[in-house]
Amino acid sequence: MVDNLYFFLIAVTIFFSLLISLMIVYFAVKYRRARHPKAVPIEGNLTLELLWSGIPLGISMVLFVWGAMVFFHAQRPPRGAIEIYAVGKQWMWKFQHMDGQREINELHVPVGRNVKLTLTTEDVLHNFGLPEFRTKIDVVPGRYTYLWFQPTKPGKYHLFCQEYCGLNHSGMGGWVYVMEQRDFDNWLSGNVSGQTPVEMGQDLFMNKLGCASCHTGGPQQRGAKLEGIFNHDVKLVGGTTVKADEQYIRNSILNPAQQVVEGYQPIMPTFKGQVTEEQLNALIAYIKSLSPASAGSTSSTTSSPAANTSAPPAANSTTANRANSNAPSNANTRH
């Protein structure tokens, strides 16, 4: 899609460059001084003026609508994509798969599946770029950005940092390895390491950070209920509502007093400076897992038929989530 748009742009550019150069030469010869010693003023020509306004307007509108379509397609990760977390840092890229595998400056993905990256950075602005996949995204401190792609050919592809980020910016890159599903499964199982993000998040939540002392338990709990909230609207003190997405959960951990849920006191301490970006990702993965109907993702080892289509992103995802909001949460059985 990107290439087609780009070739169209090049074709339009070549066409007008040639047209204008040839016209300059043609008029220079035709109206040379030897044949037209005296200039004749022209008062205006409505048809001509409408044409040279209308045609460029039409062409730029085609480019605008076409470009917007490509942009929206690139900006909306399809449901059912394999989810991978990525953290940028001066000067490396760290990846974590939902099965627990971690990699640095290397990213292994299976061919033909949609892959969604959730990206943030520990320090300064970076930009995650995959030129051969025709996609890139800014990676911003304190925020999550998303990028998705569907690799179509097995192989080894460059990944770059595409935003100047300090001394070793030019060395901040690596490789994406696109593998056949079978090879990928082998790679996954041969590379077992520690906890999955959900397990790591659960461990932080239950033990290390002590979130569980307020956020689980009966009706007397001091902290808001987290089961089933992901991707749903949350009512805040002051009457506003906010969607409980990654950004909201992150903000609630780092700036708990900023968005207090209706019916609760602003008593939660901040965890700013106490949790790393990877731990935040893990906590979010865990809280997501408490809302199984809304997470919209599959584990990278399960081969879901939906994941093999490059169908456009589901515009009705909110409706789907709402319809599933009564589904029993598996969190009840887990604890």
Residues binding ligand CUA (CB under 6 A): 88, 91, 126, 161, 163-165, 169, 172
Give min distance, CB of 332 to ligand CUA, in A.
43
Give min distance, CB of 90 to ligand CUA, in A.
7
Give min distance, CB of 173 to ligand CUA, in A.
9
Mark residue 114 as left, alpha or beta (left: phi above 0; alpha: psi -120 to 50; beta: remaining).
beta
- Report the chain's C-alpha Rg in angstroms: 27
Please, which residue, 122 or 203, has the CB nearer to ligand CUA? 122
Q: Which residues contact 86 (CB under 8 A, 6 or more apart)?
A: 93, 94, 95, 96, 107, 117, 118, 119, 120, 128, 139
Give min distance, CB of 165 to ligand CUA, in A.
3
CA distance 138 to 145: 7
Read off φ and ψ for residue 137, nearest 5 degrees. -155, 145
Using alpha carbons, select from 82, 80, 61, 68 the residue that is nearest to residue 12: 61
Using alpha carbons, select from 287, 299, 198 the residue that is nearest to residue 248: 287
Give min distance, CB of 260 to ligand CUA, in A.
35
Please, which residue, 163 or 246, has the CB nearer to ligand CUA? 163
Count CA within 13 A, CB hemisphere, residue 106. Answer: 10
Please, which residue, 161 or 229, has the CB nearer to ligand CUA? 161
Please, which residue, 101 or 162, has the CB nearer to ligand CUA? 162
Please, which residue, 78 or 88, has the CB nearer to ligand CUA? 88
Give min distance, CB of 172 to ligand CUA, in A.
4
Please, which residue, 26 or 164, has the CB nearer to ligand CUA? 164
Please, which residue, 165 or 229, has the CB nearer to ligand CUA? 165
Give min distance, CB of 41 to ligand CUA, in A.
57
Q: Is 31 exposed, middle or buried (0-12, 13-18, 19+ CB in 10 A)?
A: exposed
CA distances from 335 to 16, 202, 212, 227 (A): 68, 11, 11, 12
